[in-house]
Amino acid sequence: MFLLNYTLYLADNALLLGHRNSEWCGHGPVLEQDIAITNISLDLIGQARNFYQYAALLKNDGSTEDTFAYTRDIREFKNCLLTELPNGDWGQTILRQFLFSNYQYLLYEQLQHGHDQQLAAIAAKALKEVTYHLRWSSEWVIRLGDGTEESHRRMEQAIAEIWSYTGELFIPASYELEANANGIAPDLKTLEVSWLQKVNEIFTAASLSAFAKATADKVYMHKGGKQGNHTEYMGYILAELQFMQRAYPGAEW
């Protein structure tokens, strides 16, 4: 059971962030970056499909990638709260992508060497995509943080808005603990050290001081998404994402 839940956790994170990023399609600040964020959305949704397909094999009850995405209720989704937060402005979207891609890169890097061959294969394939996501978002954090007075102010504000949702990434759910105990998933505390080092490196290059303040203050960290307790935003996402399948069950193109 833990393996199914862990696989769904990986899938749900990718699906929700991919869906959020897709909301930028046609609304990006410039055409090139509109295409970039849309392609990142496609990468994430592709990762979600691979994880959902594996979850369907594990559950073995007729479930498919579509039923996992379109027919589960809100409490059945296990994604971190960070991935469901509203896009905000471009700076907030960029920061969210950087913080999650940093985590995802470190996770997949370890997951590809895990004892579950299918998860390892999916992680190894996705790692090339996530490497680009991390590089792209890192460059944008630096560009905006060390840019104009306005862009710097917005990035500082983005940190203030988002930082308290990052702690959940490293608070293990029961299925993550079991996956680690079985040699499938890495120890999250080890990942957190490397994650913070990368964040510090990029924020320092971007001249962002809010990071130091946030870590010094040890702000409260929101959690619960991994156990199905989500923000109010999640309901609106699912209302849009699942509308067609709920209105016309079993409909296909």
Please report the pLDDT score of residue 45 as a whole number: 97
pLDDT digits (tens, 9 = 90+) for 209-243: 877 666 656 778 999 999 999 999 999 999 999 99
Which domains occur in the chain, in start order? 2-247 (1.20.1260.10)
pLDDT digits (tens, 9 = 90+) for 62-71: 999 999 999 9
pTM: 0.94
Q: What is the DSSP string of the chain?
A: -HHHHHHHHHHHHHHHHHHHHHTTTTT-SSHHHHHHHHHHHHHHHHHHHHHHHHHHHHH-SS--HHHHHHS--GGG----GGGGS---SHHHHHHHHHHHHHHHHHHHHHHTTSS-HHHHHHHHHHHHHHHHHHHHHHHHHHHHHTS-HHHHHHHHHHHHHHGGGSGGGGS--HHHHHHHHTTSS--HHHHHHHHHHHHHHHHHHTT--HHHHHHHHT------GGGT---HHHHHHHHHHTHHHHHSTT---
